[in-house]
Amino acid sequence: MFTRRRFLEGSLGAVAVLGGCTAEGQSAGTPLPIPELVDARKQNGAISLVAAEGEHAFVPGRPTGTYGFSAPYLGPVVRVHKGDEVEFTVENRLDRGTTAHWHGVLVPAALDGGPHVLIPPGGIWRPVLKIDQPETTAWYHSHPHGDTGRQVYRGLAGLMIVEDGVGERLGLPRTYGIDDLPIILQDRQLDEKGALVYNNGGPSRMMGMRGNTLVVNGAISPFAKVPRGLVRLRLLNAANARNFDLRFADGRTFHVIASDGGYLPAPVGMTSLIIAPSERFEVLVDFSDGKVAVLETAPDDNMVRGMGGGMMAGMMESVGGELLRFEPHSASAAAAKTIPTALVALATSDPERAVRRRRVSLDMGPAMMRGQGAGGGMRMGGGMGPPMGINGQVYDMGRIDFAPRLGDTEIWEVTPNMMAHPFHVHGVIFNVLSIGGKAPASHLAGGKDTILLSEPAELLMTFTQPATSDFPFMLHCHILEHEDGGMMGQYTTA
């Protein structure tokens, strides 16, 4: 494979240099920032998030303007518990509208924080979320129509953990910040002064905003001191557009235990893992050998195919290299030592129960032109450049694209065009029946809310959450510039 070969030949880019790596075993550079953990049960069930401007130094000593939720950049890790009601207070201190979308949390669409739930500057939004789903790692981020890419890029995102006690019973590592680490993966374009650059025109419009610098929890090539034993990483790809192709420099095996919708039936041993924008995977890594371990990514090769795509791809940054270095302590011993052989039985719907098949085409370029021809009249999405859409139509906040019935099970046949797209649906956890006509790899066989598609797929989903035409659910590509450009639709569950 082209990417892997180029990667292994050693083009690590500028990132490792900035991070100040030194000899093995020595702590140099930046410690991994660990976002504050806010547990709803310790807050009497009330959690406050304030969206505001901040300053954050990606490059030490070079602060740049950012956004954050109750933090200069990103937000706290919010922990909620199944069966509880949690009252959120989201305050907007920005100079433009924002939202707080609970990505991967199953709540009615009116509480979901999509584009229809815009909080104006100075406004406060108070949704009460009834938490009713299995243990998982979800996240939250802003989602205002046409401005999601820029706002998330500036920092409006955070991790969210849903607990139901299963991980504890399974004996999984769960000491936050010690052997249970939030790992928020992003890339950012930084100029010579270390300032954030955002661009949603030209190649960034076509392929999504990418950057020259890899960051983890907002830091460049940080290190984490970990116990000698099993450590759980809650991986989130919070980049606007790029995929991360993860592996350890020493090629060690790690075990995927959970994806977007919660635990897999059994840990899946892997030596490399592709994580697309908005996907989450929880992995267990064994550090009991005491050796320093470097988590790396290959460059991202997901670029537009054909139509001058090669030339465009040449204009895009596609950085590979070091993400994060783990330094096992000799002194401390991790609580968990052995990887469980079984986790949780999969709760899947029966494909036989599907009452309908729907076609969803993720369109850009020529496919959009065909759709526009049929629909009459060219409509542009937000930003500059050719339109993007779903089934040939640019997103329209006033148009309902699909209306499945509450309680129904459906199969969605989703077809990507021009490049691979991370397809996301609000309000459901789905199962992947097939990708390119084949059963999905075992780490993708659990509950999902986002799936990276370079080939057509069949997704099985049951609608359990209410959505109305005033407050519909979104379905979209999670390359945020595609979403802002119009590759989004909406559905109700009447």
Q: Which residues are at the interface with Cu ion (CB under 5 A)?
A: 103, 421, 426, 477, 479, 482
Q: Report the distance separating Cα 456 and Cα 443, nearest Å.
A: 18
Residue 482: name its binding partner from ligand C2O, Cu ion, none (Cβ under 5 to 8 Å by kind): Cu ion
CB of 472 vs ligand C2O, minimal distance in Å = 12
- Cα–Cα nearest to 180, from 137, 130, 147: 137
Q: Report, in Å, the least distance between residue 242 CB and ligand C2O.
A: 15
CA distance 345 to 340: 13
The whole-angstrom separation of Cα 303 and Cα 314 is 9
Residue 239's binding partner out of ligand C2O, Cu ion, none, with CB under 5 to 8 Å set by partner kind: none
Closest separation between CB of residue 101 and ligand C2O, Å? Answer: 5
Number of H helices, E strands in the chain: 8, 31
Of 112 and 410, the one with the shorter C-beta distance to Cu ion is 112
Minimum CB separation of residue 277 from ligand C2O in Å reads 8
Count Cβ atoms below 10 Å from residue 83 Cβ, excluding itself: 9
Min separation Cβ 316 and Cu ion, Å: 14
Q: How far is the CB of 161 from ligand C2O (least distance, A)?
A: 16
Partner from Cu ion, ligand C2O, none binding residue 372, C-beta < 5-8 Å depending on class = none
Can you state the percent helix, strand and coil of the chain, rounding each to 5? 15, 40, 45
> At which residue do the structure tokens 């019973």 appear?
169
Q: Which is nearer to Cu ion, 255 or 482 (CB)?
A: 482
Per partner kind, with CB cut-offs from 5 to 8 A, the member of ligand C2O, Cu ion, none near residue 477 is: Cu ion
Pairing state between β 356-364 and 262-270: unpaired
**Cα separation, 107 vs 62, whole angstroms:** 40
Q: Which entry of Cu ion, ligand C2O, none binds 275, CB below 5 to 8 A by partner kind?
A: none
Residue of closest CB approach to ligand C2O: 103
> Is the Cβ of residue 18 or residue 477 nearer to Cu ion in the bound state?
477
Q: How far is the CB of 369 from ligand C2O (least distance, A)?
A: 26
Measure the CA–CA gap between 413 and 417, rounded to whole angstroms. 13
Closest by CA to 65, choosing from 189, 191, 154, 160, is 154
Rank residues 125 and 287 by Cβ distance to Cu ion and give the closer one: 125
Which does residue 154 bind out of Cu ion, ligand C2O, none, counting CB within 5 to 8 angstroms by kind? Answer: none
- Closest CA relative to residue 334, chosen from 381, 286, 302: 286
CA nearest neighbour of 217 among 170, 173, 183, 245? 183
Nearer to ligand C2O, 255 or 426 (CB): 426
Q: How far is the CB of 103 from ligand C2O (least distance, A)?
A: 4
Alpha-carbon distance of 470 to 130, in angstroms, equals: 21
165 phi, psi to nearest 5 deg: 95, -10
Nearest distance from residue 404's CB to ligand C2O, in Å? 17
Q: What distance, in Å, lies between the first and last C-alpha atoms of the chain?
A: 46
* Comparison of 190 and 479: residue with beta carbon closer to Cu ion: 479
278 interacts with, out of Cu ion, ligand C2O, none, CB within 5 to 8 A per kind: ligand C2O
* Residues that bind ligand C2O in the complex, under the rule CB under 6 A: 101, 103, 141, 143, 278, 424, 426, 474, 476, 478
Work out what residue 230 binds among Cu ion, ligand C2O, none; the CB cut-off runs from 5 to 8 Å by kind: none
- HSE-up of 81 (CA within 13 Å, CB side)? 14
> Based on CB atoms, which residue is closest to ligand C2O, 125 or 254?
125
Nearer residue to Cu ion within complex by CB, 205 or 482? 482
Closest distance to Cu ion from the beta carbon of 1 (Å):
22
The structure tokens listed for 480 are 């945020």
Query: How far apart are the C-alpha atoms of 432 and 437, rounded to whole Å?
Result: 11
Query: In terms of CB distance, is 278 or 318 closer to ligand C2O?
Result: 278
Cβ proximity of 439 and 238 under 8 Å: no
Tokens of 34: 């660990």
Cα-atom radius of gyration of the chain, to the nearest Å? 21
Q: Which of ligand C2O, Cu ion, none interacts with 228 (beta carbon under 5 to 8 A by kind)?
A: none
Which of ligand C2O, Cu ion, none is residue 476 near (CB under 5 to 8 Å by kind)? ligand C2O
Q: CA–CA separation, 425 vs 410, rounded Å? A: 13
The residue (of 258 and 268) whose beta carbon lies closer to ligand C2O is 258
